[in-house]
Structure 1
Amino acid sequence: MDTGSVTFAFFLIFSGAAALASVALYTRQPLIIAYIALGALIGPSGFSLVTDLQQLSDIGHIGIIFLLFLLGLDMQPQALFATIRNSTVVGLVSSAIFFLASWLLASFFFAEYGESVIVAVAMMFSSTIIGIKLLPTTILHHKHIGEMMIGLLLLQDLLAIIVLVLIMASGSAEDGEAAWHIVKVLLALPLLGMAAWAFVRYVLLRLIQRFDRFHEYIFLLAIGWCLGMAEAAQLLGLSAEIGAFVAGVSIATSPISQYIAVNLKPLRDFFLILFFFAVGARFDLAMLQQVWMPALCLALLVLAMKPLTYRLLLKGVSERSSLAWDLGFRLGQASEFSLLIAYIAFDAGLLGLEASLTIQAATIITLLVSSYIVVLNYPTPIAISDRLRRD
């Protein structure tokens, strides 16, 4: 048996995930917990049965791309603009509050000013994966909470991209070049949107109308369009996730968009299992004793601060109290972008190992605890209780 092969790694990951998922369901735990725990158990810091994490992480990242693509398929362009406009004030003010509070706390643990700033920036964002994955499809289609969540997450994703551009530019470029990168990002988004709209109108929809009887062809066309736009976005300095979302929005008006969404969901879940496995496997458990105190304090701050902040801000813009609490807890965690910031800033020499591991540990803690809170108290597609299960 070739223990270094992708086939063997997949066997361990999906067999192990099935076993731990069974335990999780019997003990009424969220399935996401099982995937992260499996990564820690058989990854390099556990039994070292799966060690090629870079490849698995890259493969798992496709799950996020498909997640954003399916999200875009549920958004009409007119509704998208209205959603972003309505959530801009809440998104910007909340990000500033999260940054300031996290920076004050990080300053107690990290004497280096730059490290405390990066740690604080990493805590600004909420998880698109957790937010959308645990949001019932019926709510996403028909409820105001789905629109508000999408608007806030998209705004945060754009801010996260600017942060990543700054970090990468700071590690290898002058300030003037970093400023140009940011301008290029802001110009690239509308350019990508217009190009996608033109291609869909004059090419893609005509192909779909002509060959819509061939389901396999529609499936391949959808995957090719999603991944092609993801690559185009990266070439323009944006993220693959933004490109995939634009790809979904561009064909949301097509009658076949919901057929595409239903057929791509199993593929999305396949890759998301790999993503969460890689999150658990990439964390060095041996270093946990050095960072557990700042990581725990930071995680507790995020878990307490985000729901309360969103509740107050959303009530301030005339949202119902029940919706404000619901949305606050659904967004009450750090983000996959937080992990990416930790990895890239460490590679660029802007962040020490201890600070990087603190971000990773705090993020994982918030992902786990937030999943528990949402799954056990609010409607989700994976709720253990029949009363709360919605899809």
Structure 2
Amino acid sequence: MPFHLKPLLAAAEGLPPLFTLLAVMLTTVVIVSLLLLRLQQSLLAGYFICGIIVANSGILDLLGGGESEARIAQMSEFGVMLLMFTLGMEFSLSDLRYVRRLAFVGGGWQMGLCGVLGGLTAWWFGISVTGSILLAVALAMSSTAVSLKSFQDLGLESSPGARMALAVAIFQDLFIIVFFLVLPLLLDPGHREESIWIRIGSLLGRGGLFVLLAGIAARWIIPTLLNVVTRTRNRELFTLSVVGSCLGLAFVGGLLQLGLALGAFVAGLAVSESIFKHRILADIMPIKDLFLTLFFVSVGLMVDLQVAAIYWKPILALTLVLMVTKAGVITLIARKLGLVHRQALMAGIGLSSAGEFSLVLLQKAGHAGVWDIGLQQTFIASAALSMGLLPAMMKAGDPLGAKLEKLGWGRRKPVLPESAPIRKKMRLMENHAIICGFGPVGQQLNKSLIAEGVPTLIVELNAETVHRLKRQGQAVLFADATHAETWELTRLMQARMVAFTFPDATLTLEALALIREHRKDIPVLARARFASDVERLKRFGATVVINDEVEAARAVTDQARVL
């Protein structure tokens, strides 16, 4: 040990070990991420690199050796649980309703073909039946977060390729829910002497009990709790209640031996379709990136460079075969479902990597001793490498598709013409009004502005409303006003005004901050449910604020005079 490190380590012995480990990890993340941003590279790759650096630099030995390994495992489990909750929150049954053909047909063929190819190949190379099944499912899964973020970075989030990727990702989420229920049957060697029917019956019983409890919580307990908390108008208590609900259902899932991760995912699903969903997402989004960072860094911590160096050829070969095979299979499926060649290729590349659930399954398989350390390192490193390479592959996908078309690929008439993406429509809009929310107030404002000859753009989060407005020819975005990407799509720089027709001051304040970053001069009309929110909204940039209480009082007074 270098002499100059001894005083530092002696001082660190008095600090909580978990705090010290987190400090080292996150400091490394910041340094590496700044370097990667300067080089215009994916931050996701940086998270893996940080974990690898910490795990292989000797820092863990200095911080306690075996105890540090145990703490890493705990952090990894906690990171997975938080990640699963956010994924459950973003899962949308409304989205599934409108992309069900792409989801069930495209997703079913993708999981089936990729899973069969992966499983048979693993079995051919001598991996056990259990290991082959786990590996087949793990490698067939794709990264929802990385894929959709890459489409957004390229400005293609509304393209047919992105819709195909989203549909398949939704099917994969549905599939993994069911697979997590049967996972204990594959990974529980301690009860293999029991009858398979007894184990299945026990699993179904525990699963049924959990679904019942989760349904009760989602239908009555959580909404009632959030209703009570919302009346306090205390944002911190609201966020604490949401996190508490997540941990509570995760704990119940753990008690029933179904896993903390599955419990957290179901907790996310429990509130994903509630009226509180968008406020919860607004509160969770600022810390979601931290959850993802901890998870991906924890995966990097599992990579042993000495072992990986021995198996570098299999790692590179598996990564190449995985990405090329999945991209090819999904491209063919997308073409059969009607996408034009270039968009089918983008969908294929976007889903070609392994995913977050892949890493979760590989971690669990490694802990259960399904295969040896060499295979574990090969699979983990390959899955991580494919996810790290995906953003760069996506950037090359569109130029590659264009080049292939010039060489004669896809010249025949497409099965289904590519629909014009929303961004193309937005390019034609100028001097328009942006209306956030399409409730009764938004509908009346939109009608009045159109009657005055002012073009309007609706920002709405109700999928049915969005589809109805699209059929009517109304310019509309299915987007969240609290996301920076939304305001890029609205052509804010060319707009004449912004109106928030919903009275939630918390969401309006978050959106106002984003608007004022780009346009300090644009008039902003807002609503406030309570008088206490009026001055706060004006202070943060609202031009005019309509107070619901004042307007209601004026209307009641006017009506009382008539009676």
Q: Is the 1:122–1:337 contact (alpha carbons within 8 Å) kept by the matching residues of 2?
A: yes
Gaps of 5+ in 2: 1-10, 399-422, 424-482, 490-513, 515-563
Identical-pair percentage: 23
Q: 1:97 to 1:219 in 2, by over 3 A?
A: same
- Structure 1: which amino acid aligns with 2:239? F
**For structure 1, which segment, 4-13 or 125-134, has the greater mean C-alpha deviation from structure 2 after superposition?**
125-134
Cα distance change of structure 1 residues 107 and 219 upon mapping to structure 2, 3 Å threshold: closer
Q: 1:27 aligns with which of 27, 33, 39?
A: 39
SS in 1 for 2:201: helix
Cα 1:322–1:214, aligned 2, differ >3 Å: closer, same or farther?
A: farther
- The secondary structure found in structure 2 opposite 1:351 is coil
What does 1:355-370 correspond to in 2, within 5 Å? 355-370=375-390
Aligned residue among 283, 286, 294 for 1:266: 286
| Amino acid across the alignment from 1:148 | A
Aligned counterparts of 1:113 and 1:75: Cα–Cα separation in 2: 31
Counting only pairs closer than 5 Å after superposition, residues 1-391 of structure 1 correspond to structure 2 as 1-2=11-12, 5-43=17-55, 45-49=56-60, 52-74=68-90, 77-80=93-96, 87-107=103-123, 109-110=125-126, 115-131=131-147, 134=150, 136=152, 139=157, 144-145=163-164, 147-162=166-181, 164-170=183-189, 172-173=191-192, 174=194, 175-180=196-201, 182-184=203-205, 187=208, 190-192=211-213, 194-200=215-221, 203-211=224-232, 213-319=233-339, 321-374=341-394
CA gap 1:53/1:126 in 2 versus in 1, 3 angstroms? farther
CA contact (8 A) 1:76 1:252 kept: yes
Amino acid at match of 1:180: G
Rate the CA distance shift 1:151–1:321 in 2: closer, same or farther, 3 A: farther
1:117 Cα deviation from its structure 2 partner: 5.0
Give the unaligned 5+ runs of structure 1. none
TM-score calculated relative to the size of structure 2: 0.58
- Cα 1:348–1:219 change in 2 (3 A) is closer
CA RMSD, Structure 1 to Structure 2 (Å): 3.8
Deviation at 1:154, TM superposition (A): 0.9
Q: 1:329 to 1:199 in 2, by over 3 A?
A: farther
CA distance in 2 between counterparts of 1:127 and 1:66 reads 16
Contact 1:171 1:348 in 2 (8 A): no
The separation in 2 between residues aligned to 1:133 and 1:300, in whole angstroms, is 22
Sort the Cα spacing of 1:83 and 1:96 in 2 relative to 1 into closer, same or farther, 3 A: same
1:152 corresponds to which letter in structure 2? F
Map Cα deviations across residues 299-353 of structure 1 (whole Å, 9 max, x no partner).
2111011122222223333455555433332321123433343343344343222
Deviations 1:98-156 (A, max 9, x none): 2332244435644666555544343222234434555649959x984575144123124
Q: Counting strand residues as a fraction of each chain, which structure ranks higher?
A: 2
Whole-Å separation in 2 of the counterparts to 1:147 and 1:85: 12
Q: In 2, Cα distance between the equivalents of 1:321 and 1:11?
A: 47
Which is further off, 180-189 or 282-291? 180-189
TM-score scaled by length of structure 1: 0.81
**1:228 Cα deviation after fit:** 1.9
In structure 2, distance between residues paired with 1:293 and 1:181: 43
Letter of the structure 2 residue corresponding to residue 199 of structure 1: W
- Residues 343-375 of structure 1, C-alpha deviation per residue, up to 9 Å, x if partnerless? 433443432222222211221221222243236
Distance 1:145 1:183 in 2: 33
Structure 1 residue matching 2:188: 3-state secondary structure: helix
Rounded to whole Å, the distance in 1 between the matches of 2:357 and 2:151 is: 19
Relative distance call for 1:86 and 1:205 in structure 2 (3 A) is farther
Alpha carbons of structure 1 residues 290 and 102: separation in structure 2 relative to 1, 3 Å: farther
Greater CA radius of gyration, 1 or 2? 2
Could you say which structure has the higher helix fraction? 1
